[in-house]
Structure 1
Amino acid sequence: MSSDINLVSKQKIGAGKRKTIIRLRIGAILSLAFVLISSVLLFLINTLNSPTQIKSEQDGALARISSMNRKAVELNVVTERLLSISEILNSRVKYNDLVSLLFKDKPEDIETSSLLIDQNTISFSVNSISLISINEYLKKIIKITSENKAFSNLTIESLSSNIRSGEYTLLLKVFINGPKN
């Protein structure tokens, strides 16, 4: 009798349970599919980007950077050496220019018999059979040494004559200003 009193039929109760079970099964299948796809993706990511491969790529990059750093240091050292050499060359006295300046306007009948270059002096002797040519040359040397700041002093060491050959010898010493540091 009590079963007759229930207004809800048993078929409706069974249909609701079946819908719930179907929903649970679909949810379980979807969850299983999600876990399966996630696992496969994680496996592929780990396979493609293994820690050893990443470590080896990192070591390779560090080696390239170290190599470039070593080359940069070597380049820097070479550049520093070149700058130092250039600075030394620029601060040195250019003796060849000074000697050329002293002998550029030498008269034709005057011969240079000796030339001695020291750190601060240029000593040289000239010979000629004409005392007038020696005088002209001496005037030119006096003018050159007084106008050029590279020379600090001019000294006539000696003026001699050789009676047998008829030559006059003039020995001069030119003092050079040192390099500017």
Structure 2
Amino acid sequence: MRFSAGFSRAAAIAGLVGFGVLIWAAVISPARDWATSNKVALQTSRVEAARLDASIQRLEQEKAALGIETEFSDIWQARQIGEATAKVQAELGEIARAEGISLRSIAPLQSPDIPFAQAVAFRVEAEATLDRVVALTSAVEFHSPVLIIDRASLRRLTRPGRISPQPTLLMQLEIMAPVFIGEGEP
């Protein structure tokens, strides 16, 4: 009898332990794994929500900036593209003369595509000393209405027997100017 009572107790304890392990394996462990994966997913979605909020805020700022009335004082204005071409070409010649540069050539290029405006473009070629090239490019870049140096090519010229404190350069600039073409007075 003692043997069967001890065996019954051991079987009961083993049954309870087995039942506990079964509950652990079937309920508690999956629930804990589920809770952990939900915490990770929640943290990931919080990071994504913060990223999306920042993106929304940036887009709203861009939308507000586009909604503001456009200021045309820095854009060339003309009634026709031919008039704009003549204005910009004449101004480029004036800038070069003011900087002491005689242009070799100034040739119109195909109009580039830029957002919100049309544009005219020119290839300007000249020989000048380094200090005059710097002065010209600075004058073009800070000009109002806007002139944009889209591409530049500089090459040092060597002339035998000619000594100069500044190197002489062959300069080729591709310059574009955004233009607003409108009816009536620009």
Using structure 1 for the length normalisation, give the TM-score. Answer: 0.33
Between the two structures, name the one with larger relative contact order (CA 8 Å, sep ≥ 6): 2
Larger Rg: 1
Decide which structure has greater strand share: 2
